[in-house]
């Protein structure tokens, strides 16, 4: 089953539109290392996330563990009513142009 994630939509268009990029990733093709500009963007993005997260008095960090454990913990935190869930994971099945997909 094809697994689609939020970052796949970014990957599809980065640095230009490529219809094969997500497929190649799904079959295990290894991408080249990020360049210096991408490294700076990663660092700035991480800094921004941490600064924004620090504005909340409390939150639950769900970034650690397997996808399945994170899905289970996300469901639990939603049921508890936790107001801020960082890096939560949700999953759904969908058929996209005749292909069974798991959207995470």
Q: What is the pLDDT of residue 91?
A: 94
pTM above 0.85, yes or no: no
Per-residue pLDDT of 8-43, as tens digits, reads 777 777 777 787 887 888 888 888 888 899 899 999
Confidence at 65, pLDDT banded by 50, 70, 90: very high
As a dihedral over the C-alpha atoms of residue 21, residue 24, residue 25, residue 31, rounded to 10 degrees, the angle is -80
**HSE-up of 56 (CA within 13 Å, CB side)?**
13
Q: What is the pLDDT of residue 28?
A: 86
Structural domain boundaries of the chain?
2-103
Beta bridge partners, 92, equal: 103
Q: What is the pLDDT of residue 17?
A: 79
């Amino acid at each position: 089953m094809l697994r689609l994630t939020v970052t796949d939509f970014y990957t599809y268009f980065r640095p230009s539109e490529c219809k094969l990029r997500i497929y190649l990733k799904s079959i295990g093709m290894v991408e080249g290392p990020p360049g210096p500009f991408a490294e700076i963007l990663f660092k700035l993005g991480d800094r921004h996330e941490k600064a924004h997260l620090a504005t909340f008095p409390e939150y639950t960090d769900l970034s650690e563990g397997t996808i399945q454990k994170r899905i289970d913990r996300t469901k639990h935190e939603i049921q508890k009513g936790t107001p801020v869930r960082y890096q939560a994971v949700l999953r759904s099945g969908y058929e996209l142009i005749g292909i069974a997909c798991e959207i995470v």
